[in-house]
């Protein structure tokens, strides 16, 4: 599903969020499907709208990011160097 594809790319985005053009490039979704995925994720509160009225950015909450990394994508945990 397109929304899942987009959501799985979001842990790569920094704290300020990503511009729509950046997100579309990361997800490799065509424009129409990309915007449908954005609307679906925003409506489910899985994607946060950030930035300003003039420069809209999107990101995910840190808890959502952790869940995606551990349970969905399966990224390994970072080693504790302490």
Tokens of 29: 């979704």
CATH class of the domain comprising 2-73: mainly alpha
Mean of the pLDDT values across residues 67-74? 61
pLDDT at residue 65 tops 80: no
Tokens of 76: 């390994």
pLDDT band at 13 (very low <50, low <70, confident <90, very high): confident
For the CA atoms of 18, 42, 61, 73, the dihedral, rounded to the nearest 10 degrees, stands at -80
15 burial type by CB count under 10 A (0-12 exposed, 13-18 middle, 19+ buried): exposed
Segments making up each domain of the chain, as ranges: 2-73
Compute the distance between CA of residue 27 and CA of residue 36 in angstroms, rounded to an integer.
Answer: 13
pLDDT at residue 17 tops 80: yes
Mean of the pLDDT values across residues 24-34? 95
Mean of the pLDDT values across residues 48-67? 83
Mean of the pLDDT values across residues 35-53? 91
């Amino acid at each position: 599903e397109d929304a899942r594809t987009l959501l799985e790319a979001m842990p790569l985005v920094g704290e300020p969020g990503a511009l729509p053009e950046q997100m579309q490039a990361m997800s490799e979704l065509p424009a129409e499907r990309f915007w449908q995925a954005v609307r679906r994720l925003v409506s489910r509160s899985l994607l946060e709208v950030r930035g300003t009225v003039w420069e809209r950015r999107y990101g995910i909450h840190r808890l959502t990011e952790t869940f995606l990394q551990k349970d969905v994508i399966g990224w390994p945990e970072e080693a504790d160097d302490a």
